[in-house]
Amino acid sequence: MPIITYQGKTYECSSEESLVDGMNRQGANISYGCRGGLCQACMVKAVKGTPPAAAQAGIKPSLQKKGYFLACLCNPESDIEIALPDRRDEFSPATITTIDHLNPSVLRLMTTRPDGFNYRPGQFVNFIRAADGLSRSYSLASIPDDDRLEFHIRLLPGGRMSGWLASELKPGDELLLSDAMGDCCYRDSYGDQPLLLAGTGTGLAPLYGILRDALSRGHTGQIRLLHGGLSGGDLYLDHDLRDLAAAHANLTYIPCVLNGDTPSGGVSGPINSHLGRQLAGGENWIAFLCGDSGIVEAMRSSCISSGLDESAIHSDAFG
Ligand SMILES: Cc1cc2nc3c(=O)[nH]c(=O)nc-3n(C[C@H](O)[C@H](O)[C@H](O)COP(=O)(O)OP(=O)(O)OC[C@H]3O[C@@H](n4cnc5c(N)ncnc54)[C@H](O)[C@@H]3O)c2cc1C
């Protein structure tokens, strides 16, 4: 009869019985839910031996490769040693290729794209610090055609993750990334609708991805990008955005500052106070609002007061 080793103890499990039932009958206390292969509550990892292929049904390929299987679908065929899931296995290692400053308080981090990592521009991932599991979300500023993943990180005084990224990491180091999440993304059905992209600070990260995604898919409607900062020094990627607007007749870039001199072609004052005027010039607008939650909420209220329906608004609020 196959022998299962788990947490230093051994259990005999016949192939007539599922591993979860057999082991729990002998007091192992393996978690379970549906016991039918759906909920994955009984997912465990083979650390020695090979689980039957049928027990890996429905599990992400990246976890299958690491030996994960469902104890409820496993009728053991041979000896195996198992362990509980390791949270770090859920994440993909990415190698840092460049770290530079976009301005004194914003870092640009470029990484390799892990094998099998798929995303849509505008989504975000969680960065995990392997040493202690510290986790923070960062939005993707790249598009899948780029050969690197790009992130814009605002440096916060005393910030645990942003401080660590800035002071400890260097090209060649590894970062753990979650799968991409979120739905603040361009859709092909928006083809000729006007798009309003508005955000402050590193809220530009998802907007930069969404903008380049829309342009690369041949968006024909007008696109207005408002990027806000406290002053002109906060408006990073300003030259790149001006170049992009010069190359695309349907794109208008509107830099916006709260204080100080109004930038060329731009506006000053709170960013949300400018959205109504932009939306007045057309119908069927789709809005993408990104950055700190308070500002996203102020921009959302301004859009709704200007007649935009909630369903036409996508947002990526940084919390
Ligand atoms: C979906 C999502 C996407 C995000 N995308 C990005 C992104 O692309 N770029 C980016 O720079 N950040 C982004 N963030 C924010 C990011 O996840 C972290 O919250 C931020 O980097 C702070 O982490 P930290 O560990 O450096 O600071 P912490 O150690 O968590 O905080 C340090 C200090 O800063 C304060 N603080 C934390 N967050 C803020 C804030 N937003 N504004 C002002 N003070 C703050 C804390 O209260 C504390 O006093 C995103 C957040 C979410 C939820």
Mean pLDDT per 10-residue interval, the chain, length 319 residues: 95 92 95 89 94 94 92 95 87 95 97 93 93 90 97 97 96 93 96 97 98 98 97 96 98 96 96 95 92 97 96 94
Q: What is the pLDDT of residue 319?
A: 78
Q: At what angle do helices 238-247 and 204-216 cross, to 10 degrees?
A: 20
Residue 102 CA to ligand 1 centre (angstroms): 17
Q: What is the pLDDT of residue 281?
A: 74
Give the Cβ contact number of residue 129 at 10 Å. Answer: 17
CATH 3.10.20.30 spans which residues of the chain? Answer: 3-88
Q: What is the spatial distance between Cα 89 and Cα 277, in angstroms, rounded to a whole number?
A: 48
Mutation to probe ligand 1, out of 136, 153, 160, 292 (largest number of atoms < 8 A from CB): 136
Atom 19 of ligand 1: nearest residue by CA position: 136
Atom 9 of ligand 1: nearest residue by CA position: 153
Q: Which residues pair with 109 in a beta bridge?
A: 99, 151
- Amino acid sitting at position 135: S
Residue 318 CA to ligand 1 centre (angstroms): 7
Give the distance between the most distant pair of CA atoms in the chain: 79
For the domain made up of 91-177, give the CATH fold: Elongation Factor Tu (Ef-tu); domain 3 (2.40.30)
Q: What tokens does 33 get?
A: 């839910």
| CB of 13 closer than 8 Å to CB of 1 | yes
- What confidence tens digit (pLDDT) does each residue in 101-156 have? 999 999 999 999 998 899 999 999 999 888 888 889 999 999 999 999 999 999 99
Ligand 1 atom at shortest distance from the alpha carbon of 319:
53
Among residues 250, 296, 305, 298, the alpha carbon closest in space to that of 276 is found at 305
3-88: CATH number: 3.10.20.30
Q: What is the spatial distance between Cα 124 and Cα 181, in angstroms, rounded to a whole number?
A: 5
CATH 2.40.30.10 spans which residues of the chain? Answer: 91-177
Q: What is the pLDDT of residue 273?
A: 97
Give the Cβ contact number of residue 273 at 10 Å. Answer: 14
CATH architecture, domain defined by 188-317:
3-Layer(aba) Sandwich (3.40)
Q: Which residues pair with 254 in a beta bridge?
A: 226
Cα dihedral sign, 186-190-191-197? negative
Burial 153-172 (b: 16+ CB within 10 A, else e): bbbeeeeebbeebbeebeee
Q: What are phi and psi of 268, to 5 degrees?
A: -130, 160
Residue 155 CA to ligand 1 centre (angstroms): 9
